Amino acid sequence: MAAFLPSASLPDLPKIIMGVDPGTQIMGYAVIEVTGQRVQVLRYDVINLKAFGSNHAVKLKKIFDRMIELIEEFLPDELAIEAPFYGANVQSMLKLGRAQGVAIAACLSRQIPYVEYAPTKVKQSVTGSGAASKEQVASMLRQTLKLPAEDAPKFFDATDALAVAMCHHHQKGNNVKAGGKSWGKFLADNPDKLAAPVAGKKAVAARKKPAA
């Protein structure tokens, strides 16, 4: 008879969290790997959309395509995304909402659950103040995650996205409501359903994993 170990004795399995700070000019993204309380920053950067001018449709396609590339590279288990800030400009709000929706749709197309966080919630989680500035958020992240100053991205959108991912980590995943499946698990369970090869070492390993 097989023996079952108590859950407390099981090793902590790594979780990949993608954080996104939506934008129609600059969209920040971050990917972290969490193992227990240990956090490793895999990447944080931006999708620069300024070159596409006022062509909103092209920008949305760029967001979707880049999100899919990141998903296939890192195989995130969950997406944490910042909710749009309700400003006075209705047209800007509509465009920002579309950008957020496209990023979410890219993740849902790969069965990745998502959680939305208010900007004040993100700032509160990282700095202790919901009114913290972008500079204060970036500074706190550099301190707590020991990020080299020379590797800091040019835009605060990247550190904002990292803050969203860390906010989700601090929630211990308790707010995930879109399901428990992930793209990595889908690849492992359905290696023959992919139309094209998937980038990244983890994806290759998932596809080669023998059936139990």
Distances (CA, A) of 27 to 39, 68, 92, 206: 22, 14, 14, 29
77, 82, 150, 151: which one is catalytic? 82
Letter string b/e over residues 33-43, b meaning 16 or more CB atoms within 10 A of that residue's CB: bbeeeeeebee
Could you confirm whether 157 is annotated as catalytic? yes
45, 72, 157, 160: which one is catalytic? 157
Could you confirm whether 12 is annotated as catalytic? no
Query: Which residue in this structure is represented by tokens 């509509």?
Result: 94
12, 21, 116, 135: which one is catalytic? 21
Could you confirm whether 45 is annotated as catalytic? no
Catalytic positions: 21, 82, 157
